[in-house]
Structure 1
Amino acid sequence: MKRIHAAMAIAVAVTLTACTTIDQRPVAATPSSQSSLAPAHGALLGHYYGSGTIAETDARIGRKPAIHLTYYNWKDDWVTSDATRSDLADGRIPLINWEPFGVDFDDITAGKLDDTIKARADGVKTLKAKVMLDFAAEMNEEEGWGDHSPARYIAAYRHIHDLFTARGVTNVEWAWCPNNTDSDGAPTAMAYYPGDAYVDWTGIDGYNWGTSDPDFEWQTFEEVFAGLYDDLAKVGKPVIIGESASDETGGDKAAWIAGIVPTLQQRFPLIKAFVWFDIAKERQWQLTSSPAALQAYQNLAANPYFAP
């Protein structure tokens, strides 16, 4: 739900015969891919830097997060971007959120956009380091990637993945991150699952929206993620919280942050990465929304659970 670029509905018409529900998701023709980035114990901490430079923010929170979330439009060359190159030089894992803004999924699946896909595949191969790639996140939400069609979404996702594989790319870990809630009229998140052979990390984007809008209520960290997490646990992949934050209005944001590590330990052991969306956008997601919130996050960042 937190796009940096505007979203638009994508008119597509691809037929895919694979069944796409959680109980009947496509059977992988090859063994499930395995993440080499997911820690055996604890979780990786990640950050979207929207409220200050990397240096300023890292000094503010008291550490360098392991993952840096960035956003790119379809034609953006995220391989050669300053952010990707700087991240790798500084020992961070780039989490590339690749958004198909204005792209017809039919064109992806039909091969009409293969030149762009091949260029990114060939480019990322030269990096000689792992990156995480999250294509068309929150496909079950209002973004409209795939026109609320799981078949079209899956066909496009698989086509991109298969081209990367055919070109010998081995340093991309594929993240698949639906929203924690489905838009009205949209299929459920798990209907969009591309299949075990196509995903290294399952994921969830989710926020505590607070109570500044009468249609929302305060949710704990567990309440934000529990429903979809239980579905992802059946898949058995490592889970990434690709975007998350809490508002201040309606509860105690500092307490919300303080509850993250205990909840990961006790309720969500498959969550192996957590990314904070640090910006004042629809709500006061930024860590500096209050001194108490910042202190709570400093404590979280220093917790050994986030130093696997």
Structure 2
Amino acid sequence: MKKIATTLAALFLYMGMNADAKTPAQKLIKKLAKWQKKGIMMGHQDALFYGTTWKWEFGRSDVKDVCGDYPAVLGCELGGLELGNEKNIDGVPFDKIREQIQAHYQRGGFITISWHPHNPVTGANAWMIEGEAVAASLPGGREHAKMNLWLRRLTDFMKSLKTKDGKPIAVIFRPWHEMNGGWFWWGVKSCTPQQYIQLFKMTVDNFRKAGLTNIVWSYSPNASSDDTTEKFLTFYPGDEYVDLLGVDLYQHTTQAEFIKQGQQEMRIMHDYAAKHNKLYALTEGGYRNTPDPQWYSSTLLPALKGFVPCYVLLWRNAWDNKEENFGPAPDKACAANFRQIHRERALLFLKDVGGRAYKND
């Protein structure tokens, strides 16, 4: 009870600090705090663009096919936009991403955006770490002008996210994630914490200089089995640059280890959020192909027990890659268990938070 009381007190304080919210981002923060007080929202990456057996069907979602409701949180990806491409790294046209963001927002849902930019030095994808690309992207670096161009293309896209009557749509933006891992060119093997922090701040400053007021900034390391608050904050750019703490957590080994890590990460984020008036979430995660038919109730929920992150975002269900499959789908063994947690309202879905008709569905 003490833990819950502390969480609620922090949330009320955070809401109070944003009682006079004026910008779209401030209003979104206030709204997220409101729903965090009521429960954990369910999210799914690329939920409205494709699923395990389909793609590009407006109004469809694997989550909806399973339980009759959309996820409350839609995850989107902007990798490839920096190059001026028409489609992202997963083959989704950016025009379609914009369209679905507008539709989900109109239904009353929330949007979070990730970015896996190409390596500015080598031109390869985000997982190719050669070239000391972070140093090259910073002021004085040989690719700094290119990075500024890339950020301008992102700010232009963010400015285009508007309602039918022209109002900005606020989104959670989660750049430079999993930096404590060694698999991205902005990760621990490719830059120092100081260089990473400079890159994060430079990104935020570019968005602010562009006049964007609809961005809620997320910081999200990868979960670590021996994580501590100090380690979690190694790359932290500072409270003035972060609105939402996040962690990315996948089950790679045992159920027990996932639950243990989940509890550990939730505690770290909860305690910091309570003291610094931040939101927190499980910003990315899942279990590849979800082979445990009871995984949601036996593993995911116990990993969160006692804590109330804003949302949990399960990673995508790729139609063209069987190994990139983390959310529920009608053809998966976990479908019945997912329907069960939906019936029990263990997580909040779009109908729980939206309250608006599903137009064009």
TM-score between the two structures when normalised by the length of structure 2? 0.63
Offset at residue 244 of structure 1 (A): 1.6
- One-letter code aligned to 1:116: W
Which residue type is aligned with residue 160 of structure 1? T
Provide the C-alpha distance between the structure 2 equivalents of 1:82 and 1:132, rounded to a whole number of angstroms: 18
Paired residues of 1:190 and 1:231 also in contact (CA < 8 A): no
> 1:47-88 deviations in whole A, cap 9, x for unaligned?
124524461512223211122222232515679531232222
TM-superposed CA distance for 1:105, in Å, is 1.9
Q: Secondary structure at the match of 1:81?
A: helix
Q: Which runs of structure 2 are paired with 1:1-308 in the superposition (5 Å)?
A: 35-38=29-32, 39=35, 40-48=37-45, 49=47, 50-51=51-52, 52-53=54-55, 55-57=60-62, 58-73=64-79, 75=82, 80-91=94-105, 92-103=109-120, 104-110=133-139, 111-112=144-145, 113-127=147-161, 128-144=168-184, 145-146=186-187, 147-181=190-224, 188-209=231-252, 216-219=253-256, 222-236=259-273, 237-247=278-288, 252-257=292-297, 260-261=300-301, 264=304, 266-269=305-308, 271-279=309-317, 282=323, 285-288=326-329, 292-302=333-343, 303=345, 305-306=347-348, 307-308=352-353
Matches of 2:198 and 2:322, distance apart in 1: 32
Give the whole-Å Cα distance in 2 for the aligned partners of 1:177 and 1:258. 25
TM-score by length of 1: 0.73
Indicate how the Cα distance of structure 1 residues 296 and 194 shifts in structure 2: closer, same or farther if over 3 A, else same: same
Instruction: Give the % identical residues.
Output: 20
AA at the equivalent of 1:239: Y
| Structure 1 range deviating more: 290-299 or 191-200 | 290-299
Deviation digits for residues 115-156 of structure 1, max 9, x if unmatched? Answer: 321332244134211111110211111323241521111111
Change (3 A) 1:272 1:167: same
Q: Deviations over 1:13-66 (max 9, x none)?
A: xxxxxxxxxxxxxxxxxx999623412321221112452446151222321112
Given the superposition, is the C-alpha separation of residues 284 and 218 from structure 1 closer, same or farther in structure 2, using an over 3 Å criterion? farther
Pair 1:281–1:199, CA change in 2 (3 A):
farther
CA–CA distance in structure 2, aligned partners of residues 97 and 283 of structure 1 = 16
- Number of aligned positions between the proteins: 266
**Matched residues in 2 for 1:240 and 1:45: separation?**
11
Gap runs ≥5 in structure 1: 1-30, 210-215
Letter in 1 for 2:283: G
AA matched with 1:179 = N
Measured in 2, the distance between the counterparts of 1:218 and 1:114 equals 43
SS in 1 for 2:60: helix
Question: Could you report, residue by residue, the CA deviation over 1:158-180 in whole angstroms, capped at 9, with x for unpaired residues?
Answer: 10101111222111111111111
Secondary structure of 1:84's aligned partner: helix
Taking the aligned partners of 1:67 and 1:89, their CA distance within structure 2 comes to 12
* Amino acid aligned to 1:83: I
Larger relative helix fraction: 2
1:88 counterpart letter in structure 2: Q
Q: Is the Cα–Cα contact under 8 Å of residues 243 and 275 in structure 1 kept in the other structure?
A: yes
Distance, in Å, in 2 between the alignment partners of 1:63 and 1:217 is 30
Alpha-carbon distance between aligned partners in 2 of 1:73 and 1:256, rounded to the nearest angstrom? 29
Task: Say what the alpha-carbon RMSD is for the aligned residues.
Answer: 3.3
Cα offset, 1:272, TM superposition: 0.7
Residues in 1 aligned to 2:170 and 2:300: alpha-carbon distance in whole angstroms: 27
Cα separation, partners in 2 of 1:136 and 1:81, compared to 1, 3 Å: farther
Deviation at 1:239, TM superposition (A): 1.4
